[in-house]
Amino acid sequence: MRLLEALTDKPAGAAALPVAGIFAEITAGLANGNDLETLLSSFLAPLLRLAGAQAGAVRTLTEDGQRMQLVGAIGLPPEVVAAEQLVDRHCGYCGIAADTDTLTWGTDLRGCARRCAAMYFGQSCQRVLAVPLRHRDTVLGIYTLFFGAGGELGPDVEAVLRSIGELLGLALHNARLERENLRATVMNERQLLAGEVHDAVAQTLAYMKMRLPLLQDAMLQHDDERSMKYFGDVKRAVGEAHASLREILTHFRTRIDPQGLLHALRGIAGGFLDRTGIALEFDCRATDLRLSVEQEVQVFLIVQEALANIAKHSLARQARLAIVQTPQQIEIVVEDDGSGMAAMALVSHQSASGSQSHFGTEIMQERAQRLGGSVQLSEREGGGTRVRLTLPVQRSEGMP
């Protein structure tokens, strides 16, 4: 904002009114989250009017920094646009501007003309100005203005063009950060999915693979008793793999209830007895958890995994889901009156041979850590198992 005020508070001149409008449009476009390439292209026309140029182009550097990609052009012949789609970073005056991080004027356009058969660069265009789009000391793109004879700009207009280049460079930098964050998020989700598939499906398939040769030998020896035993083992393993895969797909397709996390958890609790035969008490002492949508999804998946473990492994008759919120933290407890930690350890050990699926505690812990919290697994007083999720309360500015 200080940059905009400094520019628009200058003494009135030919560029004063367009500058204010251009900066206002750029700020509005960034605030609205417009597509960056569309945003960069949309400012070519007002920049041409501001500078009195006949044509213009905007390019961004590729992620490796070695080439420049054309993302928008005005006033250039189709042959030129086609030839300029992807050029070397050091090409012509654009390359000089990218390498030196300075506004670069040029009049010898033979290098540009050699790129295609069009005569535009040799006749109509007499001068070119390349302006870097930079953030701090890094050039992220170039916009280029093409002039006819006598194309001269005053120092005030050049300063405005340089400032606009810095603002659009900041936009490019932020867009790249968003892409990197998205890539990291996707990789984390893929890692979680790979862990789920490995633990819940791959080990079961490995167990089936070991059982099939035994089944084949028993069948070749006409040993009906052994054949039926191994057939039963394979059949159960197929059922477990199918159920685990359906559970994984359900988890990764989950979208939080439009009415929020508490409503979603209340819905799970309401149908738990019908689905599992285990009575589930829902004890909620919170009214508004103040979590983002992504945080609500992660908490929901943790609770869903804990309840799935009770249904599959605990042999419980009663279970409880409790939610308590204090000024410092949110605590969610899922507990049951089942067979407890000893049985859990036995099943976890058996999962290594592929005969059972795991409890998913590592995945629950990973999800909790992403929220800045933790998951603790312990014996429940009186028998059974207790899963305790704690996460810090996110305070908004101005809150006591």
**Exposure letters 110-127 (e unless 16+ CB within 10 A, then b):** eebbebbebebbeebbbb
pLDDT per residue over 219-254, tens digit each? 999 999 999 998 998 898 888 788 777 766 665 655
**β-sheet bridge partners, residue 145:** 56, 129
217: left (phi over 0), alpha (psi -120 to 50) or beta: alpha
pLDDT of 353 higher than 50: no
pLDDT at position 331:
93
Contact assessment for residue 165 and residue 134, using Cβ atoms and an 8 Å cutoff: yes
pLDDT at position 32:
57
Contacts of 257 (CB under 8 A, 6+ apart): 263, 264, 267
Residue with the two structure tokens 């041409």: 48
**pTM for this predicted structure:** 0.45
Residue 335 Cα distances to 75, 271, 330, 376, angstroms: 69, 17, 16, 12
* Cα atoms found within 13 Å of the Cα of residue 327, Cβ hemisphere only: 2
Residue 220 Cα distances to 210, 212, 214, angstroms: 17, 12, 10
pLDDT at position 30:
57
Distance in angstroms (rounded) separating the CA atoms of residues 248 and 87 = 45
Written as six digits, the tokens of 91 are: 């090409």
**Domains in the chain: ranges and CATH:** 2-180 (3.30.450.40), 256-400 (3.30.565.10)
Average pLDDT over residues 152-160: 81
pLDDT per residue over 274-288, tens digit each? 878 899 999 998 877
Contact assessment for residue 268 and residue 307, using Cβ atoms and an 8 Å cutoff: yes
pLDDT per residue over 9-65, tens digit each? 443 334 444 566 666 666 665 555 556 667 777 777 888 888 888 888 888 888 778
